[in-house]
Structure 1
Amino acid sequence: MTTVLFAVSAAVAVAGQLKITAWARARWSSQRAIVYGITLMSTAFLPPFVDTGTATGTSGRAAWAVALAPLFAPVVLPGLGTAMVYPFEMDTVVSLAGGRLVAPHHGLCNTVAGLGITPGNLTTGAVRDAADRPGRPNRPGGCSRRRARSAPAAPHCWRARVVWPRVPDGSSRR
């Protein structure tokens, strides 16, 4: 399933980059496109918390689409947001550099972005570790180990099964 999600993310970027950039350029200024793109990326955190029910083998296509939306939305939304932001971000860096020494300015921009991403990743890891302690059975998105095993078709619980795999003795594979 992870491979499918990576393929969807790549397909969004490859198929949509030029169209998304042209669409955003026709409607907004560079600054506004960056703000809207970042807002779009930030909405990717919300779909996993939506309980859309469980699709079964007898469910129709619409039921499967609704059930899978919380799984694919966190992949598609950042892809769309990044496709919207990146060209305008690059133009902004070039204009701030005054057309001179553009590469070092891009390097500085990426370094600052990395410094901003690091605390977020550390915090996310700490929250997941805290949620995995004994006596804390609930997972982000409302999934518990019991629910993830008893209802594997519920897409909002698939993440719990993938992120916190268990070996037969009950210990974590970390």
Structure 2
Amino acid sequence: MRSLIVLGAVGAGLVLAMRADEAGPGSDVPRGIRNNNPGNLENNGIAWQGLSDRQTDSRFYQFENPVWGIRALARTLKTYRDRYGLETAREIISRWAPPFENNTDSYARAVAGALGVDPDTHITDSQENRLRLVKAIIRHENGAQPYPDDLIAEGIERAYA
């Protein structure tokens, strides 16, 4: 039986992790959750804060705990807005999950639905929308969103610090 264990508090949130002996490759725990990288950011050489000393996944970053993976996800979204002017679910997801390996339209519609907007509607940059956007991406990337709001908020806060 697979089980989550509470490792401790990080800021205002709990850090959840799978026992290493239960959540290795081949586990039914989604890769992004196993890697503490719920946005499934591909390893492209960026020296993110909070990276695990051991990078055993050949494609995706592995973080020390989920708050750092959430920070990287939120930081990437901040860059999309600030540097590239991406402000709709369709624009954001088209860059996040390009169509050559994803059903980008379906992904954008799912994210927009979680925000209560059309995929081509401008998304205002509010704390509430940041939280909802990050949660929607985590859910779509992993098939589940297991983290409490305060943990996600802590990761977002670190991204904007």
Normalising by the smaller structure, the TM-score range is under 0.3
> What is the TM-score normalised by the length of structure 1?
0.26
Q: More strand per residue: 1 or 2?
A: 2
For the pair shown, the structure with the greater C-alpha radius of gyration is: 1
> What is the TM-score normalised by the length of structure 2?
0.28
Q: More helix per residue: 1 or 2?
A: 1
